[in-house]
Amino acid sequence: MFDEISFDKIKRLPKYVFAAINEIKLSMRQNGEDAIDFSMGNPDGPTPEHIIDKLCESARKPKNHGYSVSKGIYKLRVAICDWYARKYGITLDPNTQACVTMGSKEGYVHLVQAITSPGDSAVIPDPAYPIHYYAFVLSGANVVRFGLEWNEKSELCVESFFAQLENALRESFPKPKFVVVNFPHNPTAVVVYKDFYERLVAMAKKERFYIISDIAYADLSFDGYQAPSIMEVEGALDVAVETYTLSKSYNMAGWRVGFVVGNTKMIDALQKIKSWLDYGIYTPMQVASTIALNGPQQCVQDIARTYEKRMEVLAQAFGEAGWELQKSRASMFIWASLPRQCAHLGSMEFSKRLLQEAKIAVSPGVGFGEKGEGYVRIALIENEKRIRQAAKNLKAFLKQF
Ligand SMILES: Cc1ncc(COP(=O)(O)O)c(C=O)c1O
């Protein structure tokens, strides 16, 4: 019945590339088998106690039980701007330059919906966090891609980035209106410094495009590295917005709290679309999020330190098992090229066999874009004991190649 009516838009979303791994994981668990799971960027630690306490206290107040404010309660928007002032030394207006979002993923998708029309064009490096790409696809926009390159210290090859971006702007018709960047990068953990953003902002003004910068992993920086914000660059507010999430820095992934700050025209579009679509996050969660941003920040350092230690342990243990990995400077991921002896399998087949035979789940790089082929992403969400167990399984697995 009604076969002639098709839902064309949803067809633009392909089958989720990670579904194959998830299905194997699920069937293993149903059979009572253990999978050591490095596949998702889902923090395993608890939300800090003082944030939960505030949620409970606030949830007991009946005045907080009604609809909230779609762009976020004023107190939280002020806390966001104060956080930026303390952390990056910049001044933002809580009314016109900040919007609370239901996690940064929701914020990003709705921002793209609000500012893009069918036929518009955006530039997104490859590989990328999949929704960075598919939000534009869902909006009927075109996406121009080029390969991200980095050095042995996981730093972006800036010259190559700008040469390729310039080429994409010159060669594409219509000329791209948007450029999406995400550093520290998911999935590669590649990092940048402030001079990268200075150059990007200058180019945006000259070539006339808007920038969306995602800094979900800004606080998870190691080894003396500190991730910058594009907002630190003079004039960034003319051309850029930045998205951030409490999911990673405060172990609050399930809470769904994030925000977007920056350019008033883009923030106004986001606030407007959200005023039509939602009534805001449950007020007590917004109050508790205010405490997260304003309260003691030692918990953030502790969370970053946990990932850093796990990365050290994993790189060493997997190296001893026969898989040499490049360490990260930031994020909660290691981006690893396939072990030499397994390179012929490709990232999907390697990930499936690693899970079925060694009980280790990772994300195949091809799920993040064509240029992700040859790699897998390892999320540091298992504890050190489980990492060592994984290394033992890995060693036995690699013997067959
Ligand atoms: C780069 C990047 N941006 C955004 C998100 C989404 O975070 P949130 O939980 O705020 O939706 C993720 C989640 O993994 C991510 O990796």
* Tens of pLDDT, residues 205-227: 999 999 999 999 999 998 889 99
pLDDT digits (tens, 9 = 90+) for 30-73: 999 999 999 999 999 999 999 999 999 999 999 999 999 999 99
DSSP class of residue 66?
Answer: S
| pLDDT range class, residue 17, cuts 50, 70, 90 | confident
Q: What is the 279 CA–ligand 1 centroid distance (Å)?
A: 21
- Residue whose CA is closest, atom 14 of ligand 1? 41
pLDDT digits (tens, 9 = 90+) for 303-358: 999 999 999 999 999 999 999 999 999 999 999 999 999 999 999 999 999 999 99
CATH topology of domain 8-46+299-398: Aspartate Aminotransferase, domain 1 (3.90.1150)
d(CA 374, CA 360): 17
- Residue whose CA is closest, atom 13 of ligand 1? 41
Q: What is the 321 CA–ligand 1 centroid distance (Å)?
A: 31
Let me know if 216 is exposed, middle or buried by CB neighbors in 10 A (0-12, 13-18, 19+). buried
Spell out a b/e string for 222-248, using b for 16 or more CB atoms within 10 Å of the CB, else e. Answer: beeeebbbbbebeebbebbbbbbbbbb
CATH topology of domain 66-294: Aspartate Aminotransferase; domain 2 (3.40.640)
- Find out whether the beta carbon of 331 lies less than 6 Å from any atom of ligand 1: no
Domain ranges of the chain: 8-46+299-398, 66-294
Let me know if 389 is exposed, middle or buried by CB neighbors in 10 A (0-12, 13-18, 19+). middle
Strand partners, 178: 122, 210
Mean per-residue pLDDT over the chain, rounded: 96
Residue 266 has pLDDT above 90, yes or no: yes
- Residue whose CA is closest, atom 6 of ligand 1? 105
